[in-house]
Structures are given as C-alpha cells and as structure tokens.
C-alpha cells in the first residue's frame, strides 16, 4: 500500500488474491469503478476498491457469474442490502451442484466389468528383414 490508502493495480491484485489482468477486466466490465490515475497514467485503487475485489474473488469461488456479481454490487451501490438476493443465488448454485453430483452418480463406474477400455492396437514385430518374392 502506498501513502493516502491507494494501491497500484499490482498491489491491489495481490491484496485481493487476483491477477492484475483480472482487476483491469473487472474495471472494464463495470464491476469496479473506474480507477483514479496518477499523472503518469498508473491506476490507483482505494481500500473500498480492495474490499470489492475481495468480494468478487469470493463470489467467483462460489461459482457466481460476473453478471450475478454485478447485480449484487449494483444492489449494494443502490443502497439495498443484497442479502436475500445473494441467498437466492447461492441456493440456486447449491441446487445446480446437487444436480451435477446426481448426474455424475448415474454415469457408469469406470471400474465396472461391463465397461471395457478399447483394445490396444496390435503391433507385430518381425524377427528379420522382410524379403519380397
């Protein structure tokens, strides 16, 4: 962190557990407000920006899409507490994961005797030179 609680893109990314490229992407997609710039053009992020980046990182880890994350951030920025919305999104995500697990359980077991791997190709090794007749 530099003076006046501002972070460069690299330090902000490191603090949030992201790459600098991800931070720039989230800014470009409007999930993060446009960063202030130094006279030489370097992006500067505030402590609040770091909190938003950490939230985005956690939400992505939970499987939320950038669109869903944007909706949550928009609710928060609009003065609404997004708790119910977040709970609905996470409940849906849990249902999706449960459905995926159920589908995986119905796949044939790889070690089952009813499933055989393809036969390997037959390779014939000749003991001597091949003579044409």
Each residue of 31-53: pLDDT tens digit?
999 999 999 999 999 999 999 99
The answer on 41 and 13 residing in a single domain is yes
The answer on 56 and 7 residing in a single domain is yes
- Print the domain residue range for 86: 63-106
Per-residue pLDDT reduced to its tens digit, 76-123: 888 888 788 888 888 888 898 889 888 888 877 655 555 565 666 665
Q: Judging by beta carbons within 10 Å of its beta carbon (0-12, 13-18, 19+), is residue 26 exposed, middle or buried?
A: buried
The answer to the question of residue 91 being in a domain is yes
Rounded distance between C-alpha atoms, residue 53 and residue 60, angstroms: 11
Check residue 125 and report its DSSP letter: -
The answer on 38 and 81 residing in a single domain is no
Please determine, for residue 127, whether its predicted confidence score (pLDDT) is greater than 70: no
Residue 30 sits in a domain whose CATH number is 1.10.1660.10
Question: Of 39, 26, 23, 104, which is closest to residue 65 (Cα–Cα)?
Answer: 26
The DSSP bridge partners found for residue 17 are none
The answer on 86 and 54 residing in a single domain is no
CB 30 within 8 A of CB 50: no
Please determine, for residue 2, whether its predicted confidence score (pLDDT) is greater than 50: no
pTM score over 0.75: no
């Amino acid at each position: 962190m530099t003076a006046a609680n501002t972070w460069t893109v690299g330090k902000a990314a490191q603090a949030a557990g992201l790459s600098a490229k991800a931070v720039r992407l989230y800014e470009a997609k409007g999930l993060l407000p446009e960063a202030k710039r130094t006279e030489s053009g370097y992006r500067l992020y505030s402590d609040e920006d770091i909190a938003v980046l950490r939230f985005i990182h956690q939400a992505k880890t939970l499987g939320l899409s950038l669109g869903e994350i944007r909706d949550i951030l928009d609710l928060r920025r609009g003065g609404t507490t997004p708790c119910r919305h977040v709970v609905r999104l996470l409940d849906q995500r849990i249902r999706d994961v449960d459905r995926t697990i159920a589908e995986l359980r119905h796949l044939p077991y790889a070690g089952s005797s009813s499933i055989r791997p393809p036969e390997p190709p037959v390779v014939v090794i000749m003991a001597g030179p091949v003579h044409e007749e």
